[in-house]
Structure 1
Amino acid sequence: MELDMYSIDNIVTTSTCDKDGNLKLFSAFQMMQDCSEMWIESEPGVKTFFEESGMTQLLASREVEIVRVPRFKEKLRTETSVFDVKPMFGFRNTFIYDSDGNVCYKTWSMGAFVDRISGKLQRIPDNVLKTVMIEPKKDMTYGERRIILPKNAAFKEQASVAVTHNDIDYNGHVNNANYIRIAMEYLPEGFAYRHVRVEYKRPVRFGEVIVPKTYLSTDGIFYVELLAANAVSAILELK
């Protein structure tokens, strides 16, 4: 494993595993998200610019390949690296490895650089971009960022979910991993998946209500559409 990537050590604890002792997908997403966010500590140029300009990075999409689901008490390491960066968008890999260095989760994601208050896209100047360490793109599946829902699909509307204070992170909206937690409640019993895509479209804030809509296609793909304020907030695809 590369030694110059930003990394965080983790362990599968009682609060991160399910009733069968397997790491929850929600918890794996938390590990990915935390490592991606904390990456900025290894980039002093970007960190200083963000602090002075009031900017932040918001996740726009993530694609995940599940190689193996870790189990209770396993020690893990989450590593993240940037493979491309543009004035308003960044692209990264975030992999989770076991204690033997074998990969458990492969992911790539696209993030947007935005004003922390308004949420509007902002450009990072070239002199700051040039300070970012760029690593080789890792070997995994790179699908489309946008998720196209099946046409004329009979989506089932589920019970609405009120957004609580505990759902909100320091950016003032629902943390990206919490969309996964909500969506997994509607996974069909016994549904097996090894590939996950998520498209984040609109941040949801405290006091709003999320309306989940679900659909299982004839070819075995499970979709979850999460809406708030009559707009799509996130779309998930599991297969």
Structure 2
Amino acid sequence: MYTITGRVGTSQTDKHGDMKLISAMDAIQDCSIFWMESEPTFLKYFQENHLGMFLAFRQIDVLKLPKYSESITVSTGIYDCKGPYGYRNTVLYDENQTPCILSWEIGAFVRLETGRMEKIPGDVIKSLIIDPKVPMEYLSRKIILPKEGFEGMPAFSVRRNDIDFNGHMNNVRYLEAAFEFLPDDFNVTRISTEYKNPALYGNSLYPKLCKEDACIYLLLEDQNSRPYTIMKIE
């Protein structure tokens, strides 16, 4: 497992002094990318062949959130890698090493010039450290949407600050935008997200929201109803 440590600051906390879920997701995302530095053969292959690793799916289970000034640890590791996909767990712990957020992700290996997925050679895959799969409930990567009941929400545009070094809207920024449409008293315990098409600077996103039982389904689409992301929030 690759690990980073930190401390919860004021910019990362909400009005109750709890770490914002978005800030926790930023830490999880950072750890996932820094992991590349711990796998020199894998990193070298990506650099020499102009490949990127783009998120295709993520599930996060929120058990608790750390408090202001608390030390945190984030650990990530690959538990499987096959074809054009890598499968990883990332876990955020509090200062007592109690799990706060459990997650699993699917990353797609993509050639940057073409945007096409690409398989990784076997010798490069064999060079990876494969960690045990973290015990958690693993849902299907395919989110089944309600057939009706979606309501259009106000559109918004991708800002300059939303763009990461891949030139796309950073995956956590989709969640940050989605949270603005949740009821104030909605307690998030789980989020599943399919990432379908990358949004670019200046693109307009058109949200559609549906409440069903205790779940909220949210689509972020383009003007032609093609989804950028599909979310199920519990």
Bin for the TM-score computed over the shorter chain: over 0.9
What is the deviation of 1:13?
1.3
What is the deviation of 1:135?
0.8
TM superposition outliers: structure 1 runs of 4+ over 2 Å = none
**Which amino acid in structure 2 is aligned with residue 107 of structure 1?**
S
What is the deviation of 1:229?
4.4
Q: Per-residue displacement from partner, 1:171-212 (whole Å, max 9, x unpaired)?
A: 110000000100000111211231111111111111211111
Matches within 5 A, 1:93-132: 93-132=89-128
Partner of 2:81: 85
1:187 aligns with 2:182: yes
What is the deviation of 1:228?
2.1
Root-mean-square deviation (CA), in Å? Answer: 1.0
What is the deviation of 1:124?
0.9
What is the deviation of 1:220?
1.0
1:11 to 4, 7, 13: 7
Q: Pick closer, same or farther for the CA change 1:207–1:141 going to 2, 3 Å.
A: same
Deviates more, 1:38-47 or 1:227-236: 227-236
- Aligned residue pairs, count: 233
Matches within 5 A, 1:48-87: 48-87=44-83
Partner of 1:24: 20
8 Å CA contact 2:206–2:223 kept in 1: the answer is: no
1:33 to 29, 38, 46: 29
1:198 to 181, 189, 193: 193
Matches within 5 A, 1:116-195: 116-152=112-148, 154-195=149-190
Q: Distance in 2 between matches of 1:105 and 1:81?
A: 15
Local SS of the residue matching 1:15: helix
Partner of 2:215: 221
**Which amino acid in structure 2 is aligned with residue 206 of structure 1?**
Y
What is the deviation of 1:10?
2.1
Local SS of the residue matching 2:11: coil
**Which amino acid in structure 1 is aligned with residue 182 of structure 2?**
L
5+ residue gaps, structure 2? none
TM-score, with structure 2 as normaliser? 0.96
5+ residue gaps, structure 1? none
